[in-house]
Chain A
Amino acid sequence: MPRENWQKGKMKKKTLLVLVVALVASTMIFASGDKEKKSGSVSSYKIGFIGPLTGDNANYGVMSRDAAIIAIDEVNAAGGINGTPVEFIAEDSEGTVEKGLSAIEKLAESDKIISLVGPVFTGPTFAVGDRCQNQGIPLITGSATHADITNIGDMIFRTVVSDGLQGEVAGHYFYEVLGYRNLAVLYAKNDYSQGLYKSMSTAFESLGGKIVDAETCMIGDKDFKTQLTKIKQLKPDAIYIPDYTVEMAQILEQAANLEVGAPFLSCDGFSNPVIFDLAGEYTDGVVYIAPAQVLKSEAYDKFVAKYQAAYGISPDSFATNVYDATKIEIEALKRCVAKGTVTRAAMRDEIAATKNYVGVGGLINFAENGDLIAYQGVYKVKGITPEYLGAFKVVDGKIQQVK
């Protein structure tokens, strides 16, 4: 350091010292205040949430969080659990591993949550799931679909089917029931979308079908004309678009404007009614695979009405899954309280013991590894109204309708 700066630097040191002391002191003050609040008997049960609340994918995190809040509000409006309210603490992951880890650290160590809902996307879920497993915090995710998520350990559950299962049903349905032989795919380079593409194409090709073209895009892309122009020339029987709502709305509109003509096939991302606001003129005839029964129950209609009243938009199937996940955690918590042992381990056992829970998204049972046992439903859109064609499963390499 040159001398002149060194001397000035010396003078600055005092300012610096004051600044650091002030920062640390303010931290301590906040911290002690924090502790005072906590001493005393259990004033509330805490359930945490992690999802992207800011950044590019904030939309999906916010919808999921809002759904969980409805579930929490319901139990608190009914007087909580034996008079003790359930506290819901949502943390922002910004869709990154780094922020996901700081979020779980805060929830686990500072808030001492009893269980976690989320994370929303697969990427941070691996890192957060590892910590949860390590620290014994049960977790239910409503939207992380990667097949390996539940292999992290016995603390991990989900109320969404793995993309492997959905893609398998999709591949069989497209080939066996719809009779398509040549498919084009336009998927996003993101864990969810790519996972669906891979499992669907594996099943479809194993039956003898052919993927004539697999085009990619990025989440957040708005212009798909290049990919659609390429696909149009290949004249596929149909186009599979396992993407998110906003991207699919763009694809449908631009495909219509390019007069592509082939019918579109989709995934549970299509269950978001926002698609009909964004691209209602172009949704007629789309067939999509999503959790079975979503549109059939009265409970579902009630939930949608509540969600609409609170937020002005309709929930998608991920938000529905998160609502069910939160409800299951609340029910498990109730059983823990009734038995008198409110610990994370007890929570985990009660969640695992969930049997035939009637959620708004259908009947929920967990497999041994924490995966959701569910059938896939097939829907066909007429105008802007999805019609339920029934539930399907694949048995011995053949698709079967579940009665």
Chain B
Amino acid sequence: MFNFFLLILIYTGIYALMALGQNLITGYTGMLSLCQAGFFAIGSYATAILTTRYGWSFWGTLPVAALLSALFGVLIGLPTLRLKGDYLAIATLGFGEIVRNVLNNWDSLTGGPMGIQRIPMVTIFGFTINPYKKVAFLIMVIIFVLVTYYLFERLGRSRMGRALQAIRDDEIAADAMGINITKYKVWAFAIGASVAGIAGSLQTVYSLSVTPGSYTFMVSVLVLCMVVLGGMGNFAAVILGAFIIQLISYFPQLVGLSGVIPPQFKQILFGAILVVMMIWRPQGIIGVRSYMVGRKNSKKVEVSNELA
């Protein structure tokens, strides 16, 4: 019971990292991205490949995972920046699926559908952080989340944070004020992607095994829900959102109901929560209406959608 609660906290921490990144992209900058799963996978595989095949230590793979994810963030960010709302969502969703598809097919690098097994545990100063004994691992995850949270709070209050908010609230006005929109948007995408990559590294050394089946579209949706449920644009709220979503996801297992109720109920309940939440409190638990992205009443329509 207690151990299972620790597991929920570890998963919360890993997803909170992704959610913090998503918050920078969606909550701060107003870009509706749906590919944290893709960056998560890239980070996971970077760590898995470098530790098993080239004998790197986990700590050495971290910057690689972060940089590689950021690089793909820029690659997907640069071209799709012109897209708004739903279009960006669907393009990024496509990117996430491509990542998974490639991981499943590039056998020589990723092990194909079999994935990569026997990933070494993290060691620090000769001390092994054994994921089977959860406390040490949880402490490591919490440190990662706190450091990231601190950095993101700083970032949010900085010149860049204000620029991002200005872009979200009114892109044209921000442009007129001399804010380099493209530059800031790409930065937001790259930073948001890099923390998802780090989250992937942590996931790898927790599960000690990676398979392409674990990085589905569902992961991206979960992360977006954490941001929305917590409250967009508020980094602390996003961490809370991650905790609540993970608690809901694992609640049946935590209290021993999972063997009793039909397995589909968890997903049905999750779907119902999404619908009810959107109707009842779309701004999240901690959040204000002004923090919504892509408002309809702002007369910014890039594409003619009329029925022809």
Max count, chain A CB within 10 A of own CB: residue among B255, B267, B291: B255
A90: which B residues are within 8 A, CB to CB? 259, 263
Contact: B258 with A106, CB < 8 Å? yes
* B interface residues, tally (CB under 8 Å): 48
Contact assessment for A102 and B104 in the assembled complex, using a CB-CB cutoff below 8 Å: no
Select which of A5, A12, A98 is within 8 A of B214 by beta carbon. A98
Given A9-B234, A146-B114, A190-B113: A105 touches B104 (CB 8 Å cut-off): no
B211 adjacent to chain A (CB < 8 Å):
yes
**Cβ B208 vs Cβ A31 within 8 A:** no
Q: Are A106 and B253 in contact (CB under 8 A)?
A: yes
Q: Is B90 an interface residue (CB 8 A)?
A: no
The interface bits of chain A over 125-168 (1 if a CB of B lies within 8 angstroms of the residue's CB, else 0) are 01100110011000000000010100000000000000000000
> Interface digits, A5-23 against B, CB 8 Å rule (1 contact, 0 not)?
1001100110110011001
B3-11, B78-86, B186-194: which lies at the interface: B3-11
Which of B4, B209, B266, B286 contacts A97 (CB under 8 A)? B209
B113-A30 in contact (CB<8A): no
Q: Which residues of B contact A12 (CB under 8 A)?
A: 285-286
Measured between beta carbons, the chain A residues less than 8 angstroms from B256 are 30, 34, 106, 110-111
Interface string of A103-126 (1 = CB under 8 A from B): 101100111000000000111101
On whether the beta carbons of B216 and A96 are closer than 8 Å, the reply is yes
> If the complex has contacts A106-B253, A127-B209, are A54 and B267 also in contact, measured as CB distance less than 8 A?
yes
Measured between alpha carbons, how far is A1 from B209 in the docked complex, in Å? 39
In the complex, which residues of chain A have a beta carbon less than 8 angstroms from the beta carbon of B117?
126, 148
CA distance A109 to B8 in the complex (A): 13
Q: State whether A97 and B263 are in contact (beta carbons under 8 Å apart), knowing that A19-B285, A106-B4 are contacts in the complex.
A: no
* A216 and B112 alpha carbons, distance in the complex (Å): 12
| CB contact list, B197-253 vs A, under 8 A | 203, 206-211, 213-214, 216, 233-234, 240, 244, 247, 250-251, 253
CB <8 Å contact, A30 and B267: no
| CB of A27 closer than 8 Å to a CB of B | yes
Distance, CA A35 to CA B1, complexed state (A): 9
| Interface hits, B115-160 → A, CB 8 Å | 115, 117, 132, 156-157
A4 to B291, CA, bound (A): 12
Complex Cα distance, B4 from A110, in Å, reads 8
Tell me, yes or no, whether A185 is within 8 Å of chain B by CB.
no
Tell yes or no: A259 within 8 A of B by CB: no
- When the two chains form the complex, which single residue of B4, B210, B263, B286 contacts A16, counting CB atoms closer than 8 Å? B286
User: Which residue on B lies nearest to A149, using beta carbons?
Assistant: B117
Complex: chain A residue closest to B286, CB-CB: A12
Q: Which of A127, A131, A216 has most chain B Cβ within 10 Å?
A: A127
Q: Which 3 A-B pairs have the closest CB atoms?
A: A123-B211, A53-B263, A30-B255
7 contacts between A and B (CB under 8 A): A34-B1, A54-B263, A95-B213, A96-B214, A98-B203, A106-B258, A148-B117
14 further contact pairs, Cβ within 8 A, besides A5-B291, A34-B1, A189-B104? A1-B233, A5-B234, A34-B255, A91-B258, A92-B263, A95-B213, A105-B3, A109-B1, A122-B114, A123-B211, A123-B214, A126-B115, A126-B117, A126-B209
